[in-house]
């Protein structure tokens, strides 16, 4: 998941009437929806500080998240 975010993907939270996050949609840099991102995965990434949202924008990888990503051959 972090590899897709490091390559330019984002996570868009879906909120309920009270403003709480009830589901998430994860997109890679081409705009394709990625099904492997679930609410528990999102919460874990956010609690580790691997993703951040600025000014109400979708969540993107943080500097800490980039440090957590291990290099792989398919990274561009």
Supply the pLDDT for residue 75.
57
Read off the pLDDT band of 23 (50, 70, 90).
very high
pTM above 0.95, yes or no: no
Instruction: Find tokens 């394709």 and name the residue.
Output: 32
Could you tell me if residue 76 is inside a domain?
no
Could you tell me if residue 51 is inside a domain?
yes
User: Can you list the positions of beta strands (E) in the chain?
Assistant: 10-15, 21-27, 33-34, 51-52, 60-61
Q: Is the pLDDT of residue 28 over 70?
A: yes
Q: Is the pLDDT of residue 76 over 80?
A: no
Number of domains in the chain: 1
Range(s) of the domain holding residue 56: 2-68
Read off the pLDDT band of 57 (50, 70, 90).
very high
Q: Is the pLDDT of residue 69 over 90?
A: no
């Amino acid at each position: 998941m972090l590899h897709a975010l490091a390559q330019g993907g984002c996570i868009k939270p879906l909120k309920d009437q009270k403003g709480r996050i009830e589901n998430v949609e994860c997109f890679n840099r081409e705009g394709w929806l990625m099904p492997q991102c679930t609410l528990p995965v999102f919460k874990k990434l956010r609690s580790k500080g691997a993703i951040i949202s600025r000014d109400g924008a979708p969540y993107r990888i943080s500097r800490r998240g980039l440090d957590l990503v291990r290099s792989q051959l398919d990274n561009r």
